[in-house]
Structure 1
Amino acid sequence: MPADDQSETFRVTTDEQLRAVSNLTRHRIMAVLRFEPATITQIAERVGLAKGSSSYHVRLLEKAGLVKVVRTRKVRGVVERYYAMTARSIELPDPGEGGPDVLMRHAVADLEASPADGERHVRMAHLRLTDEQFAELGARLHALADEYRKLSDPSLPDTSLVFALFHPAQGAKPEGGAR
């Protein structure tokens, strides 16, 4: 499990931190470290990288303050470092109007990379809600995600839950140009 001194939320505030989390490979490394510490070798195996590439990306995450060494051990004269996330969740700044939503881009990339014959639950619903209903639904989605995060067991396969509740831009045209 992650270190006991792990904070609840890491707020991305610098350009260096934003660049670190904006990379899909580093996003996947952070997913590996979400529940338990791992060595560079373990990270490389789980993400499908060479050890050198894994080490490079972990160093950038460590420099940005997103991961840290939580323990070391000596193996055949070499110090093996175990890395873990510094916080349970990451809060990104608002991308601003027209800015890319990094988390959604990574989520879509992970969805597209997942086995096509694997079990998935993907749905999009267009709703018409009052401001109160919108706020209530957002709170319920957050609570549901938090409830299941507490049930997470590192020995089980990874599962990703992504949701986006938002008001689309006014006058936005659906794909294909039809309205």
Structure 2
Amino acid sequence: MPTDDLPETFHVTTAEQLRAVSNLTRHRIMAVLRFEPATITQIAERVGLAKGSSSYHVRLLERAGLVKVVRTRKVRGVTERYYAMAAQAIVLPDPGAGQPDVLMRHAVADLEAAPADAERHVGMAHLRLTDEQFAELGARLGALADEYRKLSDPSLPDTSFVFALFHPARRDQAEGDAK
């Protein structure tokens, strides 16, 4: 099943769904299924898990509605299931005040796990923007991600593009929270 046949978005709305995507292993399994369906064995090999662990995590994702069986076939009397994402994009709710941002935590973990000798582009810029400039930059970054998402080829190695555009806590607020 090509990913074009999937619904465009799946909105995470329940506590069960949020728990399912909050786990780094399940995040990595969903990354494997981002472009093409895979069996439990294929997922286990790509993520570096035992088949039993892979099966457990996929079942939790399936129960939460985040992945689904898209194809089956018989192999030596056993039914082999191919899993795919339930949608092309998973939309997480905004974290509440003081709550960790799951996407950013997973992105940092993936960056830290990436090969140290691999090419990477990581940077941070402190800007002073009007509300209009802030909104425009956010829209442009989103459009850039969408443009390159359309160019994605499942036969090529994975590339992650992560961005965060936000207003940091004012220094006096952050210091007040620490007291």
Q: Once the two structures are superposed, what CA deviation does each residue of 1:52-79 show, in whole Å capped at 9, x if it has no partner?
A: 0000000000000000000000011100
Whole-angstrom CA distance in 1 between matches of 2:5 and 2:152: 19
CA contact (8 A) 1:12 1:93 kept: yes
CA-to-aligned-CA distance 1:31-64 (integer Å, 9 cap, x gap): 0000000000000000000000000000000000
Q: Secondary structure at the match of 1:158?
A: coil
Q: Which runs of 4+ in 1 moved over 4 A?
A: none
- Say yes or no: does 1:75 pair with 2:75: yes
Q: In the aligned structure 2, how far is the partner of 1:168 from the partner of 1:110?
A: 23
TM-score, normalization by structure 2:
0.94
Q: Does 1:98 align with 2:98?
A: yes
In the TM superposition, what is the alpha-carbon distance from 1:2 to its structure 2 partner? Answer: 3.3
Which amino acid in 2 is paired with 1:84?
A
Q: How does 1:132-143 map to 2 (within 5 A)?
A: 132-143=132-143
Gaps of 5+ in 2: none
Match of 2:122, SS?
coil
Cα pair 2:3 2:88 within 8 Å, conserved: no
Of all paired residues, the percent bearing the same amino acid is 87
- Contact 2:3 / 2:35 at 8 angstroms: preserved in 1? no
Residue 119 of structure 1 is matched in structure 2 by 119
Is contact 2:11-2:92 (8 Å) kept? yes
| Secondary structure in 2 matching 1:109 | helix
**Deviation for aligned residue 1:170:** 1.4
> Are the aligned partners of 1:73 and 1:81 in contact in 2 as well (CA < 8 Å)?
yes
Distance 1:105 1:29 in 2: 16
Unaligned runs of 5+ in 1: 175-179
Map of 1:177 onto structure 2: none
1:20 aligns with 2:20: yes
Match for residue 168 of structure 2?
A: 168
Cα RMSD for the two superposed structures: 1.5
SS at structure 1 position matched to 2:84: strand
In structure 1, distance between residues paired with 2:126 and 2:9 = 30
Deviations 1:5-51 (Å, cap 9, x if unpaired)? 41111101000000000000000000000000000000000000000
CA contact (8 A) 1:2 1:34 kept: no
Q: Hey, which of these two has a bigger chunk of helix by percent?
A: 2
Secondary structure, aligned partner of 1:74: strand
Q: What amino acid maps onto 2:111 in structure 1?
A: L
Partner of 1:38: 38
2:141 maps to amino acid: L
The alpha carbon displacement at 1:4 in A equals 4.5
TM-score (structure 1 length as normaliser): 0.94
